[in-house]
Structure 1
Amino acid sequence: MSARSRLPRLARTLGAVTGAALLALSLAGPASAATHTPTLDLSTQPAAADHHGQPDYYVSLGDSLAAGYQPNVGHDTDVSYTDQLYAQLKQHDPDLVHIKLGCSGETTETMIDGGICSYPGATSQLDAAVQFLRAHRGHVRYVTLDIGANDVDGCLASGSIDLACAAKGIATVGVQVPEITAALHAAGGGRPQYAGMNYYDPFLAVWLTGPSGQQAARLSATLGVALNGAIEVGLKLGGFHVADVATAFSTLDFTDQATLPGVGQVPLNVARICEWTWECTPYHDIHATPTGHAVIAGVFRDVFRDSHRR
């Protein structure tokens, strides 16, 4: 059975678990928070660092996490996990060049069809990546991806969740993530190492609001598995390794305790969200801090290291 023939059944299954929208909605954030316009010119390429000829490339795709949005400055920055991962990879390959394509507010649909960020010579982020991968086939070493959270953005209105909207969003993730990963792998061929991430759960911060918030946090962590499950299936169908960011953030660990300054003992997963995102700051923002981005970069680095050893 082909991957495409399995997708409608997968979408129906995931669409039924609409509660996973709690996680995705919290990660989506406002699509207008940071409008990033990459300036990749597909007609040119960065010059080689030395006499060895064409350099190797790291191509990163995704949403505001890949773009590096930070609420304290209100725009995309170079503290993203993609930038930090690039710095680490470059230590072992000085000629490595980073092609950073992430777009704040990107959904799976806009990644495929365009509409938020502009890419000279391309119709969308995916089209820009595919063109670059084809033009530099054999010279791309790494491809990373984060996408899917913004697909249910807009399903929260007046404090309530539109379940039909959420179901549609999760079903879309189940269908379009495999299309994205398959297109990237087909364009890049067998040389690159491909990895995509699942998501942490910033909604866990509601634990600090009291008993009702603690109940909501537990529900969010449990139901969020469905959204990450959809993303992970899509990654694997396209030949991508999974960067398990959810586990790195201890998303399901309500048992172990940690001391949160100014608060006291809280579950480890709640502490991680407060320490590694902007949720528990006056910004009340879901994006990872520079420290959180460093954690995410480390997960990707370990995935590449492990896959290289196989």
Structure 2
Amino acid sequence: MLKGPSLPLLRVATPIIFVLSLLLFSVPSAFAATHATTQATMVGPMANYLAVGDSLAYGYQPNLNYSHGYADDFYANLKSHGATSYANMACPGETTTSMINGGCTYSVLRKYVYTGSQLNAAISYLRSHAGTVSPVTLDIGANDMLHDINTSTCTISSTWDSDLATMDANLTQVILPKLTAAMTVNGQRSGDLLLMNYYDPYQNICPTMVSYSQEINQHLAADASGYATVVDVFTPFGGAATPNPNTCNYTWMCSIFKDIHATSTGYSVMANAFEQTAGY
């Protein structure tokens, strides 16, 4: 079993990562103006809840507590609305590309056993439980940008824009449309798809980089257009102000682990954001 310090947020092999906001900064206006951020109409909860994504969806904590993630907390709430089944397919370290093609770095840690890619497993699950899965929660994309971030120098690499474009393409051309299609029964959307944005655990270390976090989350919000409702966790985690007073309580950054994953308290804040956005 991997020790906590070697499993940072979203990408599990290096200590460089950031998480992102939904604010409208650093994105060309033409890009932002042509995209909405919400699913038109909420379907509501059903018997089955499916969680997909990376280490936050998985519920990773460096103290090896993997049972108090936001998906676990959200499911506890969903049970009061009639949910009876919960499948968490998330894989720590997942990128949009590995979600499509397979090869997640830490697939050994998966809570839900499946073969092939996470996307194909999710589609198979949705089809085999047609019309009975809602919501589907997703957080993905930050690992795509991981290698562009240097928290020692608080700078980004020259491949930033091209990696953003890859993330956008994977989400808008493959992941979101395929999930949406699998959630469509007889021409009608049969469940709610909720796409989470990200908090920024490094904003107190690299406050000048918050704008890049905001840019990524704005891309995620734009990519969600017509497919998913965006769940904003950046704001309840403290927003863009630095220093962020919530970082030490909501993440493990100030602990002996120096880890950017959420604490149980932080995951509870995320779950509440899902509940408030979904309205159930």
Q: TM-score, normalization: structure 2?
A: 0.76
- Which residue is 2:224 aligned to? 235
- Which residue is 1:182 aligned to? 177
For the pair 1:167 / 2:167, whether they are aligned, the reply is no
Q: Which of 139, 145, 164 lines up with 1:146 in the alignment?
A: 139
- Which residue is 2:191 aligned to? 192
**Contact 1:205/1:279 (8 A) holds in 2:** no
- Look up the equivalent residue of 1:96 and give its one-letter code: T
- Look up the equivalent residue of 1:169 and give its one-letter code: D
Q: Which of 49, 53, 61 lines up with 1:62 in the alignment?
A: 53
Deviation at 1:149, TM superposition (A): 0.8
- Look up the equivalent residue of 2:53 and give its one-letter code: G
**Distance in 2 separating the partners of 1:244 and 1:87:** 20
Q: Which of 244, 249, 274 lines up with 2:248 in the alignment?
A: 274
Going from structure 1 to structure 2, the CA distance change for 1:158 and 1:68 (only over 3 Å counts) comes to closer
Moved more, 143-152 or 157-166: 157-166
**Contact 1:85/1:301 (8 A) holds in 2:** yes
Q: TM-score, normalization: structure 1?
A: 0.69
- Which residue is 1:15 aligned to? none
For the pair 1:288 / 2:262, whether they are aligned, the reply is yes
Instruction: Give matches, 1:84-99, under 5 Å.
Output: 84-93=73-82, 95-99=83-87
Unaligned runs of 5+ in 2: 1-7, 16-45
Deviation at 1:177, TM superposition (A): 1.7
**Distance in 2 separating the partners of 1:273 and 1:59:** 28
Instruction: Give matches, 1:245-260, under 5 Å.
Output: 245-254=233-242
- Look up the equivalent residue of 1:72 and give its one-letter code: N
**Distance in 2 separating the partners of 1:228 and 1:162:** 16
- Look up the equivalent residue of 2:230 and give its one-letter code: V
Which of structures 1 and 2 has the bigger CA Rg?
1
- Which residue is 2:33 aligned to? none
**Contact 2:54/2:94 (8 A) holds in 1:** yes
**Distance in 1 separating the partners of 2:239 and 2:192:** 26
Instruction: Give matches, 1:206-221, under 5 Å.
Output: 206=205, 216-217=206-207, 219-221=208-210
For the pair 1:204 / 2:203, whether they are aligned, the reply is yes
**Distance in 1 separating the partners of 2:88 and 2:48:** 10
Q: Which of 110, 116, 132 lines up with 2:98 in the alignment?
A: 110
**Contact 2:138/2:194 (8 A) holds in 1:** yes
Deviation at 1:298, TM superposition (A): 0.4
Deviation at 1:29, TM superposition (A): 4.4
* Aligned-residue CA RMSD (Å): 2.3
**Contact 2:10/2:56 (8 A) holds in 1:** no
**Distance in 2 separating the partners of 1:234 and 1:31:** 27
**Contact 2:12/2:93 (8 A) holds in 1:** yes
- Look up the equivalent residue of 1:92 and give its one-letter code: H
Unaligned runs of 5+ in 1: 1-25, 34-54, 207-215, 255-266
**Contact 2:10/2:54 (8 A) holds in 1:** no
- Which residue is 1:82 aligned to? 71
- Which residue is 1:212 aligned to? none
**Distance in 2 separating the partners of 1:85 and 1:197:** 13
**Contact 1:27/1:202 (8 A) holds in 2:** no
- Which residue is 1:30 aligned to? 12
- Summarize deviations over 1:244-267 as a string: whole Å, max 9, x none: 11111122234xxxxxxxxxxxx4
SS of corresponding position for 1:196: strand
SS of corresponding position for 2:190: coil
Moved more, 290-299 or 273-282: 273-282
**Distance in 2 separating the partners of 1:222 and 1:194:** 27
Query: Relative contact order (alpha carbons < 8 A, sep ≥ 6): 1 or 2 greater?
Result: 2
**Contact 2:10/2:94 (8 A) holds in 1:** no
Going from structure 1 to structure 2, the CA distance change for 1:158 and 1:145 (only over 3 Å counts) comes to closer
